[in-house]
Chains A and B, each alone.
Chain A
Amino acid sequence: AQSVSQHNHHVILSEAASLELGCNYSYGGTVNLFWYVQYPGQHLQLLLKYFSGDPLVKGIKGFEAEFIKSKFSFNLRKPSVQWSDTAEYFCAVISGGGADGLTFGKGTHLIIQP
């Protein structure tokens, strides 16, 4: 069975700081990787995804993530965060065929202080 680990459960940053949220997964086969974001009072939204090709993927709102196959990692980055980035961030993986659906990490609660 696949699993996803997000290393930081709570992160507090000041505006303009750089962000990196860690995500590691365990699954030996082909996977597709996602980052979802849940802003306060809103539903889960897709931030970015990786299926194949260039391991550096760009998403909405200036976010990007890098897939490193050898490390089973898919870390989320943003060079300069804004107060509006305050949200819960979830890393998710789905294996080929999707038999287990999306497997999510526990989430990282990000607070940006103005």
Chain B
Amino acid sequence: KAGVTQTPRYLIKTRGQQVTLSCSPISGHRSVSWYQQTPGQGLQFLFEYFSETQRNKGNFPGRFSGRQFSNSRSEMNVSTLELGDSALYLCASSLEGLDSETQYFGPGTRLLVL
């Protein structure tokens, strides 16, 4: 079974621009979560989507948003990029049911904001 895939793998943007990242979960997984990884703050939870609805949200500003499609694929958008948004953005998927809290991670999208 294919793992979580994320596109693009690398991205360079300038301050003020916006960016959209994409994530395809493991087949059959309906929950998708997003995390930001930086050297200073480590891994931080952004939000979780399930059945096209945001189910949980971390402590990030409104510039960070996401959505989920009917096929469980998810996108994350960051508007008005700041230098501090440079990070590795990780997507994770999980299977609903008894093991719903085990998350499987993709390779990430490395975003550099200049």
Q: Fill in one digit per residue for A100-113: 1 if any B CB lies within 8 Å of its CB, else 0.
A: 11111111000000
Residues facing B in A24-55 (CB within 8 A) are: 32, 34, 36, 42-46, 49, 51
Interface size class of B (residues with CB under 8 A): 20 to 34
Taking a contact as CB atoms under 8 Å apart, the answer to whether A43 and B105 are in contact is yes
Taking a contact as CB atoms under 8 Å apart, the answer to whether B105 and A44 are in contact is yes
Taking a contact as CB atoms under 8 Å apart, the answer to whether B33 and A43 are in contact is no
Residues facing A in B13-56 (CB within 8 A) are: 33, 35, 42-48, 56
Contact of A44 among B42, B90, B101 (CB under 8 A): B90
**A60 interface hit (Cβ, 8 Å):** no
Taking a contact as CB atoms under 8 Å apart, the answer to whether B58 and A34 are in contact is no
Interface residues of A (CB under 8 A from B): 32, 34, 36, 42-46, 49, 51, 90, 92, 94, 98-107
B10 CB to nearest A CB, Å: 13
Taking a contact as CB atoms under 8 Å apart, the answer to whether B105 and A98 are in contact is no
Taking a contact as CB atoms under 8 Å apart, the answer to whether B106 and A101 are in contact is no
A85 CB to nearest B CB, Å: 19
Taking a contact as CB atoms under 8 Å apart, the answer to whether A100 and B42 are in contact is no
Taking a contact as CB atoms under 8 Å apart, the answer to whether A34 and B90 are in contact is no
Interface residues of B (CB under 8 A from A): 33, 35, 42-48, 56, 58, 90, 92, 100-108
The CB with the most chain B CB atoms within 10 A, among A99, A102, A103, is that of A102
Taking a contact as CB atoms under 8 Å apart, the answer to whether B103 and A104 are in contact is no
A91 CB to nearest B CB, Å: 11
24 contacts between A and B (CB under 8 A): A32-B101, A36-B105, A42-B107, A43-B90, A43-B105, A44-B90, A44-B105, A46-B104, A51-B101, A94-B101, A98-B100, A99-B56, A100-B56, A101-B33, A101-B46, A101-B47, A101-B48, A102-B33, A102-B35, A102-B43, A104-B44, A105-B42, A106-B42, A107-B42
Taking a contact as CB atoms under 8 Å apart, the answer to whether A101 and B45 are in contact is yes
Residues on the A chain within 8 Å of B58, using CB: 100-101
